[in-house]
Chain A
């Protein structure tokens, strides 16, 4: 049994190596017949995270719509910079694609020197826009509504602790936007992961949690966390009772988006073919169901639309950073 295990492992490793070599030996082929071999997707986070889950769900449908499988290559590190630099350096032949997370990719550029720029990529398909959500512990009677929180913060400037998933994360930027929009001061407390934020809020260690709909919906539905507002243009379908911040009079729209991009220079026909395939995947009812079940709030933007969207975000974040900078520029 154990011997079998070792052999299986070796075979698996061999297979992975072989696939990687195929990826490396890619010859410059035209769009003719593309794709003729498996496509690698470089994921900027480790296995198990929301971005990894998204990539794996998309990969599941690759065979059906592109005729070739997709191989996931996790390259976590430096708030996705490691994976983006690897993608930038990859041959622009359509056989190496990568995930792109915003604001992570953008925030890095604003906060420190990076070895990539937003212009290094061809934007193929954005799949997810996961809106921010302000939440408190369900039994915290101080904050029944967003106005309670704002009143409290006005009376006690900089005292309300607000858990975020780190400087430069969308939660942190959301707290920043909230301060600008409401004129109050809160105290952002950086954590390392969304799970830590959930634990800190449930345990009563911080007052407010900067969440995303994707990672907190279950807690809200279970009655453990009270949602004070969603930072989106419209309400989230699975949380119909939670008003947006805009409805409550504050112009705060913040989210975390996840999509798939290619290195710049990819032939137009291939980009078009990938864009079309991703559009078809996103319309497959089974895919939609998979995405719903794994709490990936879909907002699909293909090619030009995605490109436009990124441009808007670049401007939004740059302006915000100028007005109220976070972190330190090296």
Chain B
């Protein structure tokens, strides 16, 4: 293995490869930052461009897009309160309040360093521990996925700490939206009203953009400061390295590490990716924080918790793809096609048959994260300027980008209409201080829970004991009860809290 790594190093550090990394990461950041354009879309768009390249370079380019886009999603989340990709859905909770306090640059640098930590840890895990960890990917059967989905759903409690009832209301809406489409097991259409476009259900991105971007844009336009920048934001200054270091060393570093590892594991589990990691990472940061009460008010640990976890997914999701031929998330599922086009058949023999390509890619992932750190760190002052553009310009741009981004998912005008419809609902929800996060989370995890419960019942022949068999099920159940229990306990203890950070959710 070390031999292969040493052989990969000159290729990875060749001018061509470094150029591709900078290009890919930059493009990825731009794609991620635009609401609606996601990492999967970026990778899909770039696959044809890799045709003419040697496979190793092509993969390095795709990997750069992947890492860049997952990180890039945090930029619009922090600056505009609009997650650029579903993977940054929880970043808005603390990122945007920081911007409103004039700390945009600091929030971006926290996000950059957290993303880097998540990315580099997962890249090293990929490089050194891929074969043993690949087993985890196979441990998850229907019952395990069900409990995992439930564990994820229990985060709703902490996402809506101001008013749990409103949080559950939003979640119920998300669950309903998740039940639209063909029944996952019997193929019977549900709530589709004879519209073929609804047969596949509602894409998470459509709901995400509808509930986050449109209400935010409308709110910007109707705001009193539509034509001028609030003074506090205007005065916002660059975050010095010392200040950032102080924040990391004294507050954030345990969150960086925990979220990175958590994200890596979520990446390894097939079918779960950044969109789950962002929520679980946030939850975990809050759970272990010394100041959980500050979450939602612009607390850097919140940004770090979400962002370290979602970039942790990148290396993790490549573990089962490269070792077993099973993609770990939706982006690596598209990379699988990219591998095939280059004649690299994904499967257990990939390492044996193409060690040069695989190791170049894996070592490349490490370097890509360094490139991302450099670009993000030095770019953040530039990005932060977006916060200083008047709302009268940013608002309409957000709407325009939302329409383009939604269309781009499936080249479907129907989705654009649906997105605008959700935008209307989202606007009402925001006026009623109903958080949008739980709705998105419920749409991601509700169908996963339903499908796997029913699949488990099918496999076991209706035997309920199947749900509790095996150590992994029990671990997941205990975790689920813990998160739920602690969440409820905190809620009761606090009694009524003012809805100070409700509106930002």
Contact = CB atoms under 8 A, between A and B. Distances in A.
Contact of B333 (A12, A48, A327): A48
A187 to B, nearest CB: 7
Interface in B403-434: 404, 410-412
Interface string A173-196: 000000000000001011111011
B267 interface: no
Contact of B199 (A1, A78, A195): A78
Interface in B165-189: 182, 184-189
Nearest to B343: A293
A198 B348 CA distance: 12
Contact of A5 (B26, B335, B458): B26
A294 B338 CA distance: 10
B485 interface: no
Interface stretch (A31-39, A217-225, A257-265): A217-225
A48 B42 CA distance: 12
Majority secondary structure of chain A interface residues (helix, strand, loop or mixed): mixed
Contact of B375 (A2, A6, A168, A294): A2
B349 A222 contact: yes
Contact of B325 (A56, A112, A193, A219): A219
Contact of A294 (B341, B458, B459): B341
A81 B138 contact: no
A76 B200 contact: yes
B280 interface: no
Contacts of B138: 199, 202-204
A233 B320 CA distance: 34
A203 to B, nearest CB: 4
Interface residues of A, number: 70
Report the interface size class on chain B: 35 or more
B196 A78 contact: yes
B73 to A, nearest CB: 15
A217 to B, nearest CB: 8
B346 A203 contact: no
B362 interface: no
A190 B185 contact: yes
A243 interface: no
B326 interface: yes
A60 interface: yes
Nearest 5 CB-CB pairings of A with B: A218-B347, A48-B337, A293-B343, A47-B44, A205-B141
Interface SS, B side:
helix
B471 to A, nearest CB: 14
29 contacts: A5-B27, A5-B28, A5-B29, A46-B334, A48-B333, A48-B334, A53-B340, A56-B47, A56-B341, A60-B51, A73-B411, A76-B200, A77-B196, A78-B199, A82-B412, A161-B458, A195-B333, A199-B137, A203-B138, A217-B345, A218-B347, A221-B347, A223-B348, A224-B347, A224-B348, A293-B340, A294-B343, A295-B340, A295-B345
B458 A219 contact: no
Interface in A75-98: 75-79, 81-82, 85
Contacts of A330: 188-189
Nearest to A114: B196
B375 A166 contact: no
B412 A195 contact: no
A268 B492 CA distance: 74
Nearest to B144: A205
A223 B348 CA distance: 9
B4 interface: no
B148 interface: no
A138 B337 CA distance: 26
A313 interface: no
A241 interface: no
Nearest to B37: A9
Interface string B188-210: 11000010110110000000000
Nearest to B44: A47
Nearest to A202: B138
A1 B377 CA distance: 13
A8 B188 CA distance: 43
Contacts of B182: 78-79
A127 to B, nearest CB: 15
B341 A53 contact: yes
Contacts of B451: 192
Nearest to A205: B141
Contact of B29 (A2, A13, A161): A2
Contacts of B186: 167, 327-328
A75 B334 contact: no
B258 interface: no
A78 B414 CA distance: 13
Contacts of B459: 161, 187, 189, 205-206
Contact of B30 (A2, A60, A72, A190): A2
A200 interface: yes
Contacts of A191: 455
A48 B47 contact: yes
Given A48-B336, A112-B189, A293-B345, 8 more contacts: A2-B30, A2-B375, A5-B23, A48-B333, A48-B337, A76-B200, A195-B326, A200-B141
A223 B347 CA distance: 11
A192 B44 contact: no
B132 interface: no
A300 interface: no
